[in-house]
Chains A and B, each alone.
Chain A
Amino acid sequence: MSNSITTMIEVVGLKKSFGTHAVLRDISLEVPKGGVVALIGPSGSGKSTLLRTLNLLTLPDSGYIRVGASRIDFTAGQRMPRDRELAAFRARTGMVFQNFNLFPHMSAEANVMEGPVTVQRMKKPEARALARELLAKVGLADRAEAMPEQLSGGQKQRVAIARALAMKPDVMLFDEATSALDPERVAEVLAVMKQLATEGMTMLLVTHEMAFAREVADTVIFMRDGYVVESGPARQVIDHPAEEATRAFLSHFHHAAGAGA
């Protein structure tokens, strides 16, 4: 049981195919409590699918997933979890999407209150106080009343982070949280993510921001074609990759990053 305290996310033998297309082929990984793991790899390698299976937005074909104390098996012959179990599991896992996915018909504050009020049945005044506190935390105390369409990309993503945090999740999953942002808006979102990491939030993030991964992540996992090709301490993997495929990916990446900067 000590294992379940030190390891917050545990994934073993995860497989997922869409039709005949195997997207995750036997993925195993662990994220320690308070750890930050960055997933990198070329597009199409299965990073988003892996993150989605961790929040059960996509159901894997086999393997098992444990987040905190709740574990779900997808071994053949097991019955699929019901809507209620899926929902309970998801509520403990915060997810931040590339395209924010804020609820456009609700103010920033209402977006943050939505989970606590609808899912956890928190009283509105209490939820509002929580939302204000979280919006302040992501630097948006003055935009509580704003509708999503009135916010910049960076602000939307920070509201989305506050919305996920409002559920007091055990872990946070970030899927390319800064990829849809204007370059000048990236830093404000990364700053919030870094602060979360410093506060001890367990995080698994997909990113193309290598400098950020190198600085903030403990572990970097390089994925390609549904496999984990290489994983290790962030600086080691990024500065001295052991695998040729990782090196090829990173070198291409450094060029792109250099050109963009």
Chain B
Amino acid sequence: MNYQWDFSFLLEYKTLIWQGALYTLGFTVLTAVSGLTVGCIIALARLSGIRWLAWPLLAISELFRCTPVLVQLVWCYYALPILIGVNLSPPVAAFITLTMYGGSFYAEIIRGGIISIDAGQWDAGRALGMRIGALMRRIVLPQAFRRMVPPLVNQTVLQLKNTSLLSVLAVPDLLYQGQLITSATYRPLETYTMVAVIYFILLLPLTRGAALLEARMSR
């Protein structure tokens, strides 16, 4: 194989690439925040023991956990508008999908972290006369949070990777811009290599950070 590697042409497209990277990062941050919010709501509702609240939310989160994101994305963009009679723009459809998908997984992590706290801790807090808010804030969440951080980071890594699916709806994320550049230059090897490298550079600090945290906490 005597392929002549040449990355220099990509310089011409640096605005496009930069834009794509910003879309990817922006969507990740936005849907991580909204997903964590949804995740907290689902987790707390399920822990509340209020049946009529917990049950539907469990059903929704299972729905999102047991279907592929790509299917959800396509469904949300092409099928949901027929049901609700409102057309969704690609970024809105993508935002809804990634929020609910991430939120469903975040919910399990948050709920798991909270129920992993020994019942004796609840007893001790209650015995001091703490009410549920103080008990959560002072005793349960600080301990649960430390256990939740590594899996939450891992889920956020997946969340960032999942934004690459947005290209299907022509949301101009990193992968979509790569496809544009490829169709203009016919150089997929350099273009997609660069796309992969940018994903890698974005994610490596996250996974390393999570590993460090994990190591520090198991000490």
Contacts and interface: CB of A to CB of B under 8 A. Distances in A.
Interface of A: 52, 55, 57, 83-84, 86-88, 90-95, 97, 99, 101-105, 114-115, 118-119, 160, 163-164, 167
Given A57-B126, A105-B143, A118-B138, A83 B132 contact: yes
Interface string B129-158: 111101000110011001000000000000
Interface of B is mostly: helix
A160 B128 CA distance: 11
Interface in B98-139: 118, 120-121, 123-132, 134, 138-139
B120 A97 contact: yes
A119 B130 contact: yes
Interface residues of B, number: 19
A206 B42 CA distance: 40
B131 A115 contact: no
A101 B123 CA distance: 8
Contacts of A57: 123, 126-127
A69 to B, nearest CB: 16
Contact of A105 (B128, B132, B134, B142): B142
A115 B128 contact: yes
Given A103-B139, A105-B143, A114 B120 contact: no
Given A57-B126, A105-B142, A167-B129, 11 more contacts: A86-B126, A87-B130, A90-B129, A92-B129, A97-B123, A103-B121, A115-B129, A119-B129, A119-B134, A163-B124, A164-B127
Given A105-B143, A114-B138, A90 B126 contact: yes
B127 A94 contact: yes
Chain B CB count within 10 A is highest, among A52, A55, A105, A118, for: A118
A60 B208 CA distance: 51
Contacts of B121: 101, 103
